[in-house]
């Protein structure tokens, strides 16, 4: 079964996680999520596989978050919509294998899926 990584090549943690997967010689589908923005349905599926709430997938250090969302109470659907509208808000990297997913922070955490 193949692996998917939701990847930002400009992110060192994302690059490190991808390198770990490549060193394990697994089949990897690389999704540059800033270019290929996940749909609302894909994000909901990812969140389910991660076993978290939508707000837990938000990068709270991003300027977009600080300017638009900090201190606000949003519904789960509103958080998902925010990530679709502003994919920079999506925590990275996310690695998926079957029905399981993990956020690769630290990057070595992806080894839990292998």
* Cβ atoms of 50 and 101 closer than 8 Å: yes
Q: How many residues are there in the chain?
A: 114
In the residue annotation, 11 being an active-site residue is answered as: yes
Q: Are strands 3-7 and 28-32 parallel, antiparallel or unpaired?
A: parallel
Helix or strand or coil: residue 71?
A: coil
CA distance 32 to 6: 6
- Confirm if 22 and 28 have CB atoms less than 8 A apart: yes
**Catalytic one among 1, 7, 8, 11?**
11
Residues labelled as active-site residues: 11
């Amino acid at each position: 079964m193949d692996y998917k990584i939701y990847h930002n090549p400009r992110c060192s943690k994302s690059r490190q996680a991808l390198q770990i997967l490549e060193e394990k010689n697994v089949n990897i589908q690389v999704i540059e999520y800033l270019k290929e923005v996940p749909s609302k349905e894909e994000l909901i599926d990812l969140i389910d596989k991660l076993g978290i709430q939508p707000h837990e997938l938000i990068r709270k250090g991003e300027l977009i978050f600080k300017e638009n969302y900090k201190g606000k109470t949003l519904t789960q659907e509103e958080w998902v919509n925010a990530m679709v509208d502003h994919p920079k808000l999506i925590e990275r990297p996310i690695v998926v294998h079957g029905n399981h997913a993990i956020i690769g922070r630290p990057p070595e955490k992806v080894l839990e899926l292998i």
